[in-house]
Amino acid sequence: MLKLISFLFMFATSLLNLASAERSTHIVHMDKSFMPKAFASHQHWYSSTLNSLKSTSPNSDPQKPLELLYTYDNVFHGFSAVLSRAELEAVNKLPGFVSACSDRVATLDTTRSTEFLGLNPVTGLWPAANYGKDVIVGVLDTGVWPESLSYKDDGMTDIPSRWKGSCDGGYDFNSSLCNKKLIGARYFNKGLLAANPDDRDKKYSARDTDGHGTHTSSIVAGNYVEDVSFFGYARGRARGVAPRARLAIYKVSFREGRYASDVLAGLDQAVADGVDVISISFGFNSIPFYEDPIAIASFAAMEKGVFVSTSAGNSGDTPRRLHNGIPWVLTVAAGSMDRSFGGSITLGNGLNLRGWSLFPAKAVVKDSTLVYNETIAGCNSTELLSEFHGGTIICDNSSSFSSQILFISESNADAAIFISSDFTYDENSFQYPGAIIRPDEAAKVIDYATKDANPTVTIKFQQTFVGTKPAPMVAEYTRLGPSPTYPGILKPDLMAPGTLVLAAWIPDDRVSNIGSNIGLSNSDDFNLISGTSMACPHGAGIAALLKGAHPDWSPAAIRSSMVTTANPLDNTGNPIREINGFNNPIASPLSMGAGQVNPNSALDPGLIYDATAQDYMELLCSINYTRKQIRTITRSSYNCSKASSDLNYPSFVSLYTSGTNASTQNFKRIVTNVGDGAATYKAKVTPPEGSVVTVFPETLVFRKKYEKRIYSLTIHTKIDENNQVTYGAVIWVEDNGKHSVRSPIVVTPKISSDDS
């Protein structure tokens, strides 16, 4: 007790002459061994310290108590509190004081997707893969803007000796622009020129004149870039999924067009150059594999151990429009992240709302008159809006936002509040001051605007919010499976972030024009873009990390690890939903595959479903391709002595014929134990509605690592007249709970080629 009294006396004495001062938050590091025994806990010690400080400070305001924000006892011993400079000086003299520092504003990761996916520098895939060190990713796209800071080679080691590629010069592109990060750049335009002879006089190079290729490649493996943003939104540090991987760029897409011959040449060169992973954010629609350059070239890539990630395609919402439904590649759908952008809306009555906005200005609409007039609330008539002078108008949900904002931008309004049923937004253009609110928030705003004598509103822009729920959601633009080319394999495989991803861009007037009506330009040369094109490089980047952590894994093994560990739940713990107006239905595997990719779990999946070139050849034989067509893909004269549609894939699709009463389909799978040592797994089945699913055996026992086990799965379905798509899953759960290996099950009607 004497020690406690002495401690408090010393502390009080040091505060007798404290003057009132402005306070700020400080983090105080304490040596816990100095805690007097009279205190039951460190929390009690720190709290008593602040109480003593309060009671002995002569100029303190009794109505404003000192605030203990946090106490720390695991990674750090100490507390954080709001203190004046004099109070902090008194704390410095305490027994046990170690150090103190001012609180700092945390910088948001602009490529938020890596944090959203759980990648972190302490545990999991990033450190296990050394951030993708020395893995080479080939990106087929619109080229590269090599001056972007995303391609600087700070922190990169010497280029691996196995690299056989080159950096080709061309118009406005010097080969010296390549470095230890951007190790290769080539362009392929002979097919383009052959189809467009008038373009032969134009000058070409690997330089990106569109922006798309710069964006996708920096998502895969861009280096660290500090303090970037999109007109102030998403400000922070950018980096790719595999920031220490190498990039090789193959320009096969030009403003004048994109031709299969050039794509095939680019893929061919990438494999010859020695890339480990290929990212292709485009595809060819509704063509058989033997005519698809991506399918053809990726087969050879797969044989050489090269992993290929592709995009599922945009302009979604119609089933069977997905492209890149190729069994030997990864097909990636797109989803949202837990980050949103907007303006903070404050009504004159004190009500605060978080509106969605990307208005590109650090502006404030302050105390503007808020107006709701049913006559003009549709905000879709230039004539009616011309009668509106000043103030902020409320636009109802009777017209689309995209049309309303065009009419508003031609009006004399200060700003607008748009009511929209869209749950999330994927466009980066917001050309007039305003913000979007949901219909369930609209009633309070309209009520205030119509009943208050002097309704006003203040809107602050350039707001970035993280932790948005629910997330992810399947983007409305992502194309749906099954593959029209071969529906017997579940495509897409999984989902990755694709909506409003911020990454490097070219210094393009089209980006600057987003803010041109208010005289702004985006000097950071980073852009927020949405599409499965952005989801695909996330898949490629994760594959690069897995390749770095498991260099002996085949492309099929890497894909399997990503599929069976994907998460079908959002950040509220509920099934992932699709963005679809008011309804937002639960997402089907035909829109999201197995779910959101989960990189850290993919590092250690427990079991994998592997496949070889022979397995894929047997699959091709089963779909009645001719020997010539198969040889086009496989480059071999396989005679189809064995044909099997039952590919060892980490998912199941049961196709039934419409008009029949029931369907039964049998599957066989081989799983390999890649965990540490012996393991026992038991099957847990969630059958699709109307189906009975049986698994034999129900228990798999592995005595050692890399041991294989075979199981069968049978789906028996009663078919109703609605021809519905139903889905479930089989999960192999390890006895100790360490691993859960999940495979989606889909039951869907067959369609004829005419229907696709």
Structure-derived torsion over alpha carbons of residues 207, 211, 213, 219, reported in degrees to the nearest 10: 130
Angle of the 42-56 helix axis to the 85-92 helix axis, nearest 10: 130
The active-site residue out of 113, 298, 533, 651 is: 533
- Label residue 305 left, alpha or beta by phi (over 0 means left) and psi (-120 to 50 means alpha): left
d(CA 321, CA 309): 18
| Residue 150 · residue 225 · CB < 8 Å | yes
Provide the phi-psi class of 124: left if phi over 0, else alpha when psi is between -120 and 50, else beta: left
646 tagged catalytic: no
> Across the strands, what pairs with 331?
310
**Annotated active-site residue in 212, 215, 538, 550:** 212
Distance between CA atoms of 389 and 645, rounded to whole angstroms? 67
Q: How many C-beta atoms surround the C-beta of residue 735 within 10 A?
A: 12
What gap in Å lies between CA 245 and CA 639, rounded to an integer?
40
**Distance set, CA 212 to CA 41, 267, 269 (Å):** 56, 18, 21
Q: By C-alpha distance, which of 668, 676, 630 is closest to 648?
A: 668
533 is catalytic: yes
Query: Using CA atoms, how far apart are residues 393 and 385, in angstroms rounded to an integer?
Result: 10
Determine which one of 14, 113, 134, 141 is catalytic: 141
Distance CA(740)–CA(743), nearest Å, equals 10
Inter-residue contact 224 to 156 (CB < 8 Å): no
* Separation CA 635–CA 323 (nearest Å): 23
SS3 string of 470-482? Answer: CCCEECCCCCCCC
Residue 212 among the catalytic residues:
yes
Closest Cα partner for 749 from 659, 681, 669, 686?
Answer: 659
Q: Is 44 helix (H, G, I), strand (E, B) or coil?
A: helix
Side chain identity, residue 515: G
Other Cβ atoms within 10 Å of 697 Cβ, number: 12
Task: Classify burial at 390, counting beta carbons within 10 Å of its beta carbon; exposed 0-12, middle 13-18, buried 19 or more.
Answer: exposed
Taking the C-alpha atoms of residue 629 and residue 619, their distance in angstroms, rounded to an integer, is 13
The stretches of 166-238 forming alpha helices (DSSP H) are: 190-195, 212-221
Report the greatest alpha carbon distance in the chain: 95
Tokens 């590092």 belong to residue? 603
Report how far residue 202's alpha carbon sits from residue 210's, in angstroms, rounded to the nearest whole number. Answer: 16
Closest CA to 462 of 108, 733, 752, 111: 108
Catalytic residues: 141, 212, 533
